[in-house]
Amino acid sequence: MFFKHDTLHKKYEQLKKYLPMEKVISWKIKSSSIYIDRPLIMGILNITPDSFYDGGKYFNYDKAIERGKEIEKEGADIIDIGGESTRPGSAPVSEKEEIKRVIPVIENLSKEIKIPISCDTYKSKVAEKALQVGAEIINDISGLRFDKNLIEVIKEHKPGLIIMHTKGKPKNMQKKPYYKDTINEIYNFFKKRLEYAIKKGISEKSIVIDPGIGFGKRLIDNLLIIKNLSKFKKIGRPILIGTSRKSFIGKLLNLPEEERLEGTIASIVISYINGAKIFRVHDVKEAKRALDFTYYIFKIAGEEGK
């Protein structure tokens, strides 16, 4: 089959009639749903002065708005906006400061872009204000553990919810983390957190799980997670993976953050093959091209081989 040059989105639309579609998983976000029948890109927009890769780059309001629009144009399916760095060793910021950073950007972008907005926060007051001004997803690194009031905000507003695994808090999570059985411990964490959320009245269909690459993990833990992602599929919810330019890539390749794009691409392609569906990345355009290409190979070659 030959397809003339076009945007990736148009190519996908052209290819759909030829492709045997995967089982579609629905992710409920507020009053709508995202149907996950292909890899989805979540573009990162950090409105912080100290995030490990892009800290300070979009701390200015105008630059943040400009980057948000650019993320959509580059092909992201979701944009994830955060106002507090969660890099290893980072200290938390106040609710007031986090609200000041993210709420104006979320409110403006929600009127300017068509893709859903996620707010990367574990604080209930930040989440509530974000959902009131246009966010449709809450990305909680704590798995509903750092702020006990967040569950009530989720219950009231019914956003999509990302439950991430972390061992410890950002300030101390990389101080000698240890697991006897990395995969089983994280798997059991997700089972318990889903049971808790559902018991509290949260719809299972609104939940996505994230194993938390780099959050209280040794190098070997990160590698084991990527290799064994398929085991988390038994939980029955979509898997999000966030490897973008993280330190485990730098350790393996001996490279600084600005030179970790190739390692990031390799990690997300392997993660997709092993079962991940959503990919949180800084480099939207490059990640989308790599994942779309991987998707097409499996779908077209799979159909031809039948």
Catalytic residue among 167, 260, 280, 299: 280
Q: How far apart are CA 292 and CA 14, in angstroms?
A: 13
Cα-flanking dihedrals φ and ψ of residue 164, to 5°? -105, 150
Per annotation, catalytic residue among 246, 277, 288, 299: 246
Q: For residue 173, what are the CA distances in angstroms to 164, 189, 213?
A: 14, 16, 12
Give the count of beta carbons closer than 10 Å to the beta carbon of residue 200.
12
3-state secondary structure (DSSP) of residue 202: coil
246 is catalytic: yes
Q: For residues 81 and 68, is the Cβ–Cβ distance under 8 A?
A: yes
By the 8 A CB rule, do 264 and 41 touch? no
CB-count exposure of residue 202 (10 Å: 0-12, 13-18, 19+): buried
Q: Are 45 and 80 in contact (CB under 8 A)?
A: yes
**Whole-angstrom Cα distance, residue 46 to residue 98?**
11
The span from the CA of 127 to the CA of 157, in Å, is 10
**Residue of 231, 225, 244, 234 lying closest to 194 (CA atoms):** 234
Dist CA 291 CA 288 (whole Å): 5
* Helices and strands in the chain: count of H runs, count of E runs: 10, 10
Residue 101 known to be catalytic? no
- Active-site positions read 246, 280
